[in-house]
Amino acid sequence: MNKRNIQIFLISLAMLFLEIMLIRWISTESRIFSYLNNLVLLACFLGMGLGCLLSKKEPDISRAFLTLAFLVAIMSMPLYIPLDGRRVHLFREIPLLLSKFTDQSIWYTPKFGFSMAINALAGTAATFILFFMTAVTFFPFGQMLGRALDGSKDAILAYSINIIGSLAGMWLFTALSFINTPPWFWLAVFSMISIALLITKGERSVKAWLALTLVVVISSFGFINASTKSDIVLWSPYQKLEVRPVSDGADGYSIRVNGVSYMSAQNLSEEFLKKRYDPLIYKNAKFSHYNIPYLFKPRAEDVLILGAGAGNDAAGAMRNGAGNVDVVEIDPVIYEIGLLLHPEKPYRDPRVHIFIDDARSYLKRSGRKYDLISFGLLDSHTPSSSYNNVRLDHYVYTEESFREAKGLLKEGGVLTVAFQPNHAWLAARIYKILDKVFGSPPLYFKLESDYMLGFGGVVFVAGDKNIIDAVSRDSLNGERFLKIPSESTKKIFEEPLKLSTDNWPYLYLKAPAIPKMHLLVMAALLIVSALIYRRALMAKYSISYHFFFLGAAFMLLEFTNISKSALIFGSTWQVNTIIISAMLILALFANLAIARFRVDNRLVYAMLIASVLAAFFLPLSALNNISGAGKGLIASAVLNLPVFFAGMIFAMSFKNTACKDRAFGSNIFGAAAGGLLESFSFIFGINMILLMVGGLYCLSLIFLRDA
């Protein structure tokens, strides 16, 4: 491998690794990016694309390192300002002012703030500072990649090495996630990759080496000192977990997830409560949402708990004499916390069987029947992937999911759902779904928040109506319960409301529409992109619309593939890695096909459009009815066949274009545009995006001569 190809590999490796690292880290520390979860990705694409288009200018790699060092500093250092009587972090909390709009549900929105206009302005400004710095970080890498690709004698080989480097970057970060490494370790690995790149590049600039050293120094002080000394800080493949003992630890442990306190490992044992607390707390302990399911099914023989967390729900099952308890938890580190630290040690009980899996995936593949199925507080703030707008829990609360759960109930079985809605319409949606699935309205009551008895919220109970009515009449007369619906809430429950489904899984969105928060950010992005295009790009650097539409279509195709794969195989981080890897490997096979054979462009376009339409018309329910290895093979073929044909078209066009940097930059800009178009799934659903994919590929055909 010659020096240029080694550079392409190292640049691609560094860019993909840095991209995933910043998506993970920024979305954790500045929580607004968990709700605008592809915004960091768009910033990466914007910087890379602009760099490729301006690759004729000499790249200054020190600019990337200096910007990255500054980004680490402002996110991890204590940059607080006084606001409404409290200290507020400029870049971790101020962006949350964007969440003041009421058309979508976002938990733990800030209490500070002023008018809606000022909230939107302040939140947008802080968000875009982070967005801009992320884009600037990737700009020099895009320049280096563009120059390397443009100077290559074999375009297909160079592009293939770019794909292999990207795969290596993703797998390297996946390996680090698997062993639960923290961000400072990620940055150390990135620094080593950068050193190899600088050496290969023959970089002699003192400024570049000093800038990279500054990254290491700032990260050492910033990341390591970011949390208080009293916390145990752990990074799982999904989120940041901060564990803190309550009192002396006998009470249990509080667990902050991505900076929010909504999980715990509590001691609610009878012995402990009698000794430690007054009689009223002990008396009301049976009304904790960890104990309530067993009022309806005392001493249940078979229990399924979805979203088991650190073990509170499993401990409740043990206290109430459950026989066999299957618990499902997606995050292996949260399970380890419960295994090691939970005061009641439920995960060490031989009656408890743990499954580290996505709750929806377990419902699909489980063949067992249960007396009681309990949906724990598994409402999530974590995105399923940086390539879509779906959160980890979206597919758990759809109509199809509850039907699958109902199918696992024994005769006389009961299903309970604990949830904490911050809008009445959110509670109404779950109520209506359960009503439709079970054929009768669920019992629905509210719990007051009490740390020792649980985080409050509401409980829905569906299933055997005779059992539910009897318990409601005889046992649920305590003062802690506020029966719902009341007269005021009946009106909300009677209003038309779109139910969440596998095609439209947006539980936290009030109606099919692009959320105001997304519209505001999209508008700002379009304005910024237009200014960049007008002022920074001269005519000779103009975008190739053929490659632009190819990039936009491929990004949307990736979005639909990941979303549908999450339904078929689960929303775990391993599935996301496998799906993206499969798409990149198919692109390699497409390169090989173009390098070996002469192919008719029109025939490939016809096969591409046909495969997109096949994916659109084939219902996912048909794939779910297939069992065993056949399901994986058929699903992968249906979902990924368009990827292969799209890869062939890109490879043919890239091979023949005169300006490789212009083509690649235009393609990345198109991918950023595709990331914005993804928001239309909020209106039309996920499957309709495939029609947009087909339309964009048709546009790329129209502009084929522009390649």
**Tell me: the pLDDT tens digits for 613-643?**
988 987 766 666 655 555 666 776 778 899 9
Query: What's the average model confidence in pLDDT over 485-506?
Result: 79
Kind and range of the H or E run holding 216: helix 206-224
Q: What is the CA radius of gyration of the chain?
A: 26
Three-state SS at 349: coil
pLDDT at 671: 93
Bigger pLDDT: 104 or 173?
173
Q: For the purposes of burial, counting CB atoms within 10 Å of the CB of 282, is it exposed (0-12), middle (13-18) or buried (19 or more)? A: middle
Q: Please provide the average confidence, as pLDDT, over all residues in the chain.
A: 85
Alpha helix (H) ranges present in 30-60? 32-35, 39-53
pLDDT at 228: 47
pLDDT at 528: 76
Q: Which of the four pLDDT bands, split at 50, 70 and 90, describes residue 539?
A: very low
Residue 201 clears pLDDT 70, i.e. is over it: yes
CA distance 601 to 279: 78
pLDDT at 561: 86
| Distance between first and last Cα of the chain | 28
Bigger pLDDT: 57 or 487?
57
Three-state SS at 135: helix
CA distance 260 to 320: 30
Cis peptide before 619 (omega within 30 of 0): no
Q: Which of the four pLDDT bands, split at 50, 70 and 90, describes residue 565?
A: confident
Residue 460 clears pLDDT 50, i.e. is over it: yes
The residues that bridge with 458 in the sheet, in sequence order, are 419, 446
Residue 457 clears pLDDT 80, i.e. is over it: no
Query: What's the average model confidence in pLDDT over 1-30?
Result: 91
Bigger pLDDT: 520 or 37?
520
pLDDT at 629: 57
Residue 227 clears pLDDT 50, i.e. is over it: no
Amino acid at 459: V
Query: What's the average model confidence in pLDDT over 529-553?
Result: 77
Amino acid at 130: L
DSSP letter for 615, please: H
- List domains and CATH numbers for the chain: 1-228 (no CATH), 282-381+399-494 (3.40.50.150), 543-707 (1.20.1250)
